[in-house]
Structure 1
């Protein structure tokens, strides 16, 4: 199970590192033009903040356990990403963007799995 948790944490980290970097580095208008219509409901600062939070969480999923410094940050990062995905689901439901819901649901379930495993029976 430990290997499965590492694999899932790695996949989540890669996904959120990419998504967060995109939100952090690209202007809001370019994000909206590329299909992220939800950014129109938020300020440019809020979109960048979401991106930075995603990047930090991606780092928090891997680095603390890898260097064995404050490994409690791993399940905290996973729980934070789960909360983020609940928020994303709420936004997409409100905007009737149903095509985004399956991806958000999978990321939510994977985040909950890592949080459960690392808080519980497979803690570091």
Structure 2
């Protein structure tokens, strides 16, 4: 079971690193990739990206290094909340196509949080 959770952690963290990197450091590319980016303040997009990058690190490093490993499920739960907020944002904008990715990443983050608590 531990190996399965590590696999889920790795896949989830990679997804958040990709998404967070685009939002935090590749703002122009994020504008091209996601239509919603052009309609919210740039500082908010960058902040979400930084939160996703830090959450991805928090999802892996504390448990891997055995330094306050309880931070891994906390980071996973926090990322699930961030993605849930994103899903609610998409629902208010009637962007239902975007919800599939949100649901998958919420599920993966919750699996890691539950598995590591």
TM-score (normalised: structure 2): 0.94
TM-score (normalised: structure 1): 0.89
Q: 2:69 aligns with which of 63, 68, 71?
A: 71
Alpha-carbon distance between aligned partners in 2 of 1:30 and 1:58, rounded to the nearest angstrom:
20
Match of 2:84 in 1: 86
Which sections of structure 2, spanning at least 5 residues, go unmatched? none
CA contact (8 A) 1:38 1:91 kept: no
Alpha-carbon distance between aligned partners in 2 of 1:21 and 1:86, rounded to the nearest angstrom:
19
Match of 1:31 in 2: 30
Match of 2:107 in 1: 109
RMSD: 1.2
Match of 2:43 in 1: 45
Alpha-carbon distance between aligned partners in 2 of 1:7 and 1:86, rounded to the nearest angstrom:
22
Match of 1:4 in 2: 4
Going by fraction, where is helix more abundant, 1 or 2? 2
Alpha-carbon distance between aligned partners in 2 of 1:30 and 1:90, rounded to the nearest angstrom:
23
Deviations along 1:40-92, one digit per CA (max 9) or x if unpaired, are 33211111000000000000111111111111110001000110111011011
Match of 1:122 in 2: none
Aligned residues: 117
- The CA deviation at 1:31 is 2.2
